[in-house]
Amino acid sequence: MARVLLLIPSRTYRTHDFMTAASRLDVDVVVGSEHRPALGGLMEGRHLRLDFDNIGGSVERIVAFAQTRPLAAVVAVDDAGTLLAAAAAQALGLPHNPVDAVEAARDKARMRQRFADAGLLTPRFTTAAIDTDPQTVAATVDYPCVVKPLDLSGSQGVVKVDDAASFPSVFARVAAIVAACRRNGTGRSLLIEDFIAGEEVAVEALLRGGELEVLAIFDKPDPLNGPFFEETIYVTPSRLSQERQAQVRETTARAARALGLTDGPIHAELRLNGRGIWMLEVAARSIGGLCSRTLRFGSGISLEELILRHAAGLPTASHQRERAAAGVMMLPIPTRGKLRAVEGQREAQQVPGVDGLVITIPPGEPLVPLPEGDRYLGFMFARAGSPQAVEAALRQAHAQLRVVTDG
């Protein structure tokens, strides 16, 4: 039986889906995380306590573990584990992305530079330390522009600036978000880049020996024009023309090569306008949150099962996505406060086409909207005969929800 180390950070949404996928396979799972699991003896020999920020020390622990319990693969379920997964797999001689490529994928400035060097359309950019005088930077950039952290995800800290007069206050706000995350190195600087207008799409894909296999292209029908960039609806299959979809696939493949990524899942973000296909980002992991639940392949297998089969070298079924259109709405947090309840859930789930609703923040927890916040209220899913019907179902169901807060 193949043994797979799953790197599962404590704040991920994805533990259940990956563990469920593993239970369907002939795979022995070892969980690597920051905390010892509550299951105690039931996880004996199947848990490895790791510090995701201490790559060297954690690689040593993984290698020592593998000496008596050999591993077939090391799989990161979220951004936090991608660098450790690459370094550990390299040390063990397992298939992996080059460490340098993963480092570039996690640093937006290095990513931008590699895209530009490869001749891809990508926003012009500069960087500035968080303690830089923002007035000085304001005079050197074009507007509109976007200020963002180098290494955060989920649109946290991403803010559009329309003019030089607004720049200092936005810069200070994003700098405060980065400082509050207590990150070191690249995380102590900000990226300032041109704002690119246009439609946005996401690509979910697998790399095998450097060859890209696109699993799905998601449309994002809500305009993402700032000042914040809270993503809401993803719908697949894409409504783009076949020619445009082919260009998206080609651009994503070029971007993966530019970074040097070669193995495993990737999640990419692109913008389309009259000038062409703009490469925004490529992450060396699969789609975040619970969004993967929109995807079913072959005889109903999940994206997580597909990833684990690939990593462990197991036979893979058809990768053809199901015929039905599918979509997810990442439920936005409308305002600050302590969550009391989300009313209207029953009514939302009765909307034709809606096939799932998960509220991920429990009552009593604080709600923090973007750009300071780093999570969504929850996720809602729909399936229907067309992308248009999926989108309509999600919007209708979302209109039934009422978020009740205390202050």
CB 186 within 8 A of CB 151: yes
Query: Are residues 401 and 328 part of one domain?
Result: yes
Parent domain of 328: 324-407
Whether residue 83 is found in the same domain as residue 31: yes
* CATH number for the domain that contains residue 38: 3.40.50.20
Within a domain: 271? no
- CA dist 348 and 340 (Å) reads 18
Asked, for residue 80, whether it belongs to a domain, the answer is: yes
| Domain match, 71 and 148 both | no
CATH classification of the domain holding 382: 3.90.1170.50
pLDDT tens profile 98-108:
999 999 999 99
Give the separation between CA 143 and CA 10, rounded to whole angstroms.
39
Out of 155, 178, 194, pick the residue that ends a domain: 194
Report yes or no on 264 lying in a domain. no
Close Cβ partners of 57 (under 8 Å, ≥ 6 residues apart): 51
Q: Do residues 36 and 85 both lie within one domain?
A: yes
Predicted model pTM: 0.93
What percent of the chain has pLDDT above 70? 95
Q: Are residues 86 and 128 in the same domain?
A: no
Q: What is the reported pLDDT for 42?
A: 38
What is the tens place of the pLDDT at every residue in 240-279? 999 999 999 999 999 999 999 999 999 999 999 999 999 9
Residue 213 lies in a domain: no
CB hemisphere CA count around 335 (13 angstroms) = 9
What CATH number is attached to the domain comprising 147?
3.30.1490.20
Residue 254: enclosing H or E segment and its boundaries?
helix 242-259
| β-strand partners of 160 | 146
Among 17, 29, 92, 96, which Cα is nearest to 58's?
Answer: 92
Q: Does any domain span residue 278?
A: no
Asked, for residue 207, whether it belongs to a domain, the answer is: no
Which of 319, 314, 307 has its CA nearest to residue 6?
307
Contacts of 287 (CB under 8 A, 6+ apart): 202, 204, 267, 295, 303
**Overall number of domains in the chain:** 3
* 127 SS3 class: strand
Q: Which of 166, 194, 222 is the last residue of a domain?
A: 194
